[in-house]
A and B are shown apart, each in its own frame.
Chain A
């Protein structure tokens, strides 16, 4: 599809004249740059508990953010009332970050607003699906989870759909609109036997329509959640200490997200608060590692056509064969650091200032057979499913939590292990990667990343990886690792 140009865009938020007045008002104190961001979002969701729909909800939000930049300074005003008077007052408020005498800068807007074609085609729009069919989905997920094992005592299913329409207009003559739809189904299952209880979780989602459930039925999501919980019933305590670690493909990419991703966001690099600052062109990972951020892949949870400043999303090679190639930028940091735009200026909503954020971040496939990677380990730890993670970008220390893991003994995954945490230092751990599998996959589409109080949907991914040594946190004493 080609971009279309329409006189007031497809959403007709404002007339061109109003937008022009607002942007000019935002520049009256001599700002270098002004921008109007409008967002309308609507959400629908339901949760299913104890055999029935507990509640169904529906919400709507509409608001604007006006941003003015002068040098390194930003003025921002956000509000959810859209009369022209309020917009003009907000524009003047944001304008005051600049401190020059009143200017009279004219802004030339294009004749029409460019409607960005979607990069994630929707085959079955959620709005075209009857509510009964959605509630049926929740029931099936519940049934799947309960049918998998008789020890299931609790199942919670959550379904949500979100539509987000945005319009961005700035003093450099950009005027665009984009819209996106996200869907998400998550099942949590609790099993109990004698005195032990365990929980498992599985779900799917992304920038897709209802057709996602043709690929993986809700019932299967339920089964997988229960299967994970049941595995944990037999799990032993995680061994503590350094071990050789094999990480499964998919969700395990949260390792990259924490270990290097945040440290490669340009704001951290500019402020010198990341261990990766000033290291472009240097070896920061094993030469087997090529790490990419790509929001332009269709359908994933971190996929975006344009970022929230209007820059097109693209494939950005962050690390190429171990060499640091690029940071992820927004407009402000790209300009201040003299770096190219990478389409990573994202914001949670109109209430927030855009900052450099990841989209879909993954480690590219290598040439090792994933099974061969497992077989190559005499004694170690196999990390399969993950909870969340966290990083301190200054020291590079990161952690992430393994919700499903196994001991590796004699080249085979054996006893399940519960409650393990992996800790490490970003660049150090990537230098320890010595096998990269051929089976790169992105996560099933549930990831949300929090930074500076803003939450945005992201994708993560990787193939099977072998890491020579990593610290595993658990409660049992580990025998020394043997390669």
Chain B
């Protein structure tokens, strides 16, 4: 018996559950993919691939001790790419009736005929990949978590958050999310891969008030397995701490100074580096890393790895969304740019190999994305790293999309804590951090040991020796 959505009340009639919704709804997407493959073969198309995805996502939101929302989302759909004489047509739908699937193939063929031949288009050859139980990304206990337990977790999180500091004025909402999904990739070369995964996260968002200011703070934990989550108390008190610590924030005078990137911000900056490593962007000369392969693009402390085969991690999958194995790659080794990342088209156009980084929903064409992307940690503790800063800033948040990938110029709105003689002093906001990514990464002069996987992109705390901080 699966747990009901809401069962703190006795019902006389049969219990209707969210899970019955799921089981009735879940069509067999492998079956769908093979129906479509059959439709394609009937039409004499020799190159095509199919992606079918199904997902379930549940969430619970509480605020100020009350349940505010319970939500379930079920979706599934299918996308096909047809390649005729090098011309690509792409069609997708959430309607999986037989008539719709048949017309889907016809639509893709019509579109392919309109496109221009492009030598980049291709599909993946079948290749050996790790077994899914080695990768261990499915936690079946997540399919049967009673709603009461989810609510209880979030209420505990919120309670810890509100109690973490007397200046925490209220909760803006605390959440539980869990979900599972299934993906099927199949193509006319005989490739057929399918995999399932689960995910779970808890999030707290607090508002602190004091010094005539209001500040927000949030924190989260996210994992494939429930047992890998931080406790609700740990997450709640960190969310509260992050709001309270910013009270009294002020701007500072414009200055050049060392910048210490706190882990969430460091991960964001690493994500930008990854975008610049997209081989297709480089081929189109739209990345600042054009012509830099083999060059030092970062300090020799910096090694960047992308690895889809790490067991239990958020970005783990045996193959990417085109069917290319998502194996481990060192992108930057001791500061030297070793390789770019490619999906099939990017690889073919650059005469390189696809790297297992193609990502897509059923309704989109592939683009390159990270699997588990990280900077190899150093051996300093974070505290020791901060202690060596005479005068600088610990950057805890960046705002805005101020990245020019073509030039590498960045300019973000920012906030953080000022460091004086190795000590964290007062909070800072209303400032900007600007520079060039090449300088930023080359100026990295310390990396801490605090690598922490709460996102698919993980980066330990690191320090750039100097950046421009714009303020008053």
Contact = CB atoms under 8 A, between A and B. Distances in A.
Interface string A273-313: 10100000000000000000000000000000000000000
Interface string B431-471: 11111100000000000000000000000000000001111
Nearest to A153: B285
B300 interface: no
Interface size class on chain A is 35 or more
A55 B111 CA distance: 8
Q: For A29, A100, A192, A272, which residue has the most chain B Cβ atoms within 10 angstroms?
A: A272
Nearest to A61: B94
Interface in A441-483: 471-478
A61 B21 contact: no
B411 interface: yes
A53 B411 contact: no
B406 A99 contact: no
Contact of B285 (A192, A271, A475, A476): A192
A353 B71 contact: yes
Contacts of B431: 423, 471, 473
Most buried by A among B25, B63, B363: B25
A61 B77 contact: yes
A474 B68 CA distance: 42
Contacts of A131: 114
B413 A199 contact: no
Interface stretch (B44-52, B246-254, B370-378): B246-254
B139 to A, nearest CB: 23
Nearest to B214: A394
Contacts of B412: 399, 421, 473
A86 B468 contact: no
Interface string A65-86: 0000000111111111100011
B430 A99 contact: no
Given A199-B406, A473-B411, A97 B70 contact: yes
Contacts of A58: 90-92, 107-108, 111
Interface in A323-363: 351, 353
B352 interface: no
Interface in A407-437: 418-421, 423-425
Interface stretch (B5-13, B129-137, B270-278, B314-322): B5-13
Nearest to A424: B430
A63 B285 contact: no
A192 B69 CA distance: 52
Given A52-B118, A78-B72, A102-B13, A240 B93 contact: no
A56 B111 contact: yes
A174 interface: no
Contacts of B391: none
B95 interface: yes
Contacts of B402: 387, 399, 401, 419, 421, 473
B169 interface: yes
Interface in B105-133: 107-108, 111-112, 114-116, 118
B141 interface: no
Nearest to B468: A475
Interface in A99-128: 99-102
A322 B24 CA distance: 55
Contact of B400 (A52, A190, A389, A394): A389
A86 B24 contact: yes
A398 interface: yes
B290 A395 contact: no
Contacts of A400: 400
B218 to A, nearest CB: 10
A181 interface: no
Interface stretch (A10-18, A88-96, A208-216): A88-96
A89 B19 CA distance: 10
Contacts of B409: 418-419, 475
A400 B434 CA distance: 13
Contact of B433 (A52, A135, A190, A473): A473
A74 B69 contact: yes
Contacts of B76: 80
Given A61-B77, A75-B71, A472-B470, A53 B413 contact: no
A89 B413 contact: no
A78 B73 contact: yes
Contacts, number: 299
B425 interface: no
B142 interface: no
A82 to B, nearest CB: 9
B415 interface: yes
Which among B284, B410, B413, B468 has the highest number of chain A CB atoms within 10 Å?
A: B413
Chain A interface, DSSP helix/strand/loop, else mixed: strand
Given A55-B365, A395-B246, A96 B6 contact: yes
A273 B216 contact: yes
Interface in B285-300: 285-286, 290
B18 interface: yes
A477 B471 CA distance: 11
Nearest to B217: A394
A391 B400 CA distance: 8
Nearest to B7: A96
A86 B209 CA distance: 46
Contacts of A89: 16, 20-21, 24
Nearest to A54: B118
A397 B432 CA distance: 11
Contacts of B100: 60
Contact of B413 (A85, A394, A397, A478): A397
Nearest to A85: B24
Interface string A171-183: 0000000000000
Given A190-B286, A394-B216, A471-B251, A240 B75 contact: no
Contacts of B173: 271
Contact of A473 (B9, B74, B413): B413
A406 B404 CA distance: 17
Contacts of A9: none
A60 B73 contact: no
A446 B41 CA distance: 40
Contacts of B91: 57-59
Contacts of A424: 430
Contacts of A398: 399, 413
B18 A93 contact: yes
A383 B5 CA distance: 52
Interface of B: 4-6, 8-9, 11-13, 16-18, 20-21, 24-25, 27, 63, 66-77, 79, 88-95, 100, 107-108, 111-112, 114-116, 118, 169-170, 172-173, 205, 207, 213-216, 246, 249, 251, 254, 284-286, 290, 363, 365, 397, 399-402, 404, 406-407, 409-413, 415, 429-436, 468-472
8 contacts: A56-B89, A63-B75, A75-B69, A86-B21, A93-B16, A197-B286, A392-B216, A474-B432
Interface of A: 29, 46, 49, 52-63, 72-81, 85-86, 89-90, 92-93, 95-97, 99-102, 131, 135, 153-154, 156, 190, 192, 196-199, 238, 240-242, 271-273, 275, 351, 353, 387-401, 418-421, 423-425, 471-478
